[in-house]
Structure 1
Amino acid sequence: MRTSSRTRRLLAGATALVGLSLAGIASAGTLDEIRSDSQVSIGYANENPFAYTELDGTVTGESPQIVRKIFERMGIETIKPVLTEWGSLIPGLRAGRFDLIAAGMYITPERCKQVIFTDPHYRLLDTLLVAEGNPKNLHSYEDIANNPDAKLAIMSGTVNLGYAREAGIKDSQILQVPNTTAQLQAVRTGRADAAIGTQLTMKGLAEKGGDSVEAIDDFKDDPSRAGYGALAFRPEDKALRDAVNAELKEWLGSEEHLKTVAPFGFDRSNLTDKTAAELCAAS
């Protein structure tokens, strides 16, 4: 991390003592520094199709590709990806390991207390990955809660952990794992009877897992639990977030945008007019 960035973030953290004006100075400084260096660093976790590392080491996915396009429009040439476990993305951002999170992170009121988001790029629903044939006949969180022998693999730090507990699934039925590869392995080996994640992620895992697993088509869930993914920034970097958000508002829904995200399974049906402010205020 650059020393000047560290200094600015320490100043921003002291605003409660020295006045709100320093927050604006620090925020503008981060954006100016990125423009001056013509590079920005992104934190991501390996979760196809949102952000992941290819076998050749290339980092791709819906969010990194959007970052590349948006920062090109801002005149920024270099994107520096930083691989991070999902549960460490927000702590890593706040500690200054990277400038923003580009991992398809859902906007939730709890996360809005720690970071600031752009308006969402997409809306997605969840589903289950199960063994071929769905032997335990699992179609909802409630089905798992009502079967004390059923175990659910959840990626640590995701909203699904809270949803599972709200549905009555006991912690003894929950297997927390660091990434989607571990979710797939848990189901394939029988350590878990199901894994939960977005429809696109679970379908991708089913393709990777071959005939031994499947993503169910009839997952029953509350529509209000749809996920809205966005880029996330430190609270003191409002100027940077606002600059990115302004570019996104012009670009999202364009033919270039749809062409950019099509390889990752996204299309016009995933577009949303929800705003980060609405989602952060949701109860």
Structure 2
Amino acid sequence: MLYELGNHRIELPGQAPKSTPDDRLLLWQDGELVSPDDDWVQRRSDWSSDALVDEEFIGLLDGHAYYTAQLNGAQDFPRLGLRDIGLRSETAFMLAARARGLLDWRRQHRFCGQCGQPTQAMTGESAMVCEPCQLRFYPRVSPCVIVLITRGPEVLLAQGTRHRSANWYSTLAGFVETGESLEQAVHREIREEVGVEVTNLRYQGSQTWPFPHQLMLGFWADYAGGDIRPEPGEIADARWFHLDELPEFPPSFSIAGYMIDSYRRFWASA
């Protein structure tokens, strides 16, 4: 769900270009982006190679090569969280999400899960390989459905137990199980989380969500019946809200906020 895609040229070739001092770097420390000048991107020429650990090629943005790495040592720099990046730029959020995913994958696949031997990075693609087993390990992507349930000028929003302190309501979401289609996952998750039935699913778009490695696939769905029954331990509250009286909800850089805003515009123009 990159709405800025028309403003940029983004390429993800498997083969990294030859390194230059003009390369852009996304540097991480304790799960956040290092930002000494309140900027989310650094120049390679400003950092020594000794300062970088687990370097990975991200891709090309407008012809410039972007890399990511962990910062070596316990230096104390200002930092930015991933959500801070999302509020600045969707393109920056996409690159930071890819960078975070690549580093997490590299850290979590240093050894083969089948035989326990060390893995090696492959040339030409993002993959770790176990030479004895010839198994390849690729960066993990976990598909999730995220759904805005609509009933005319009303939407059903919920507050998760883990996010109650933020005091906002959002759309419903859940992981796609092995063997499920996206549509099956929508019906199951909605039934489990709030006890209602839906119909007329309309795909709205997708967004990478690196907390830690989700791919969110968004839908609008019409309410078909049933009383709201929040899932104990998962949903603190769920209710219908009129589009003119919406509660606090996620920012528009997130697919949840985007779908709510889009439906509000759609209904206003109907």
- Tell me the TM-score normalised to structure 2 length: 0.22
- Larger-gyration structure (1/2): 2
Q: Higher strand fraction: Structure 1 or Structure 2?
A: 2
Q: Higher helix fraction: Structure 1 or Structure 2?
A: 1
- Tell me the TM-score normalised to structure 1 length: 0.22
Q: Which has the higher contact order (CA 8 A, sep 6+)?
A: 1
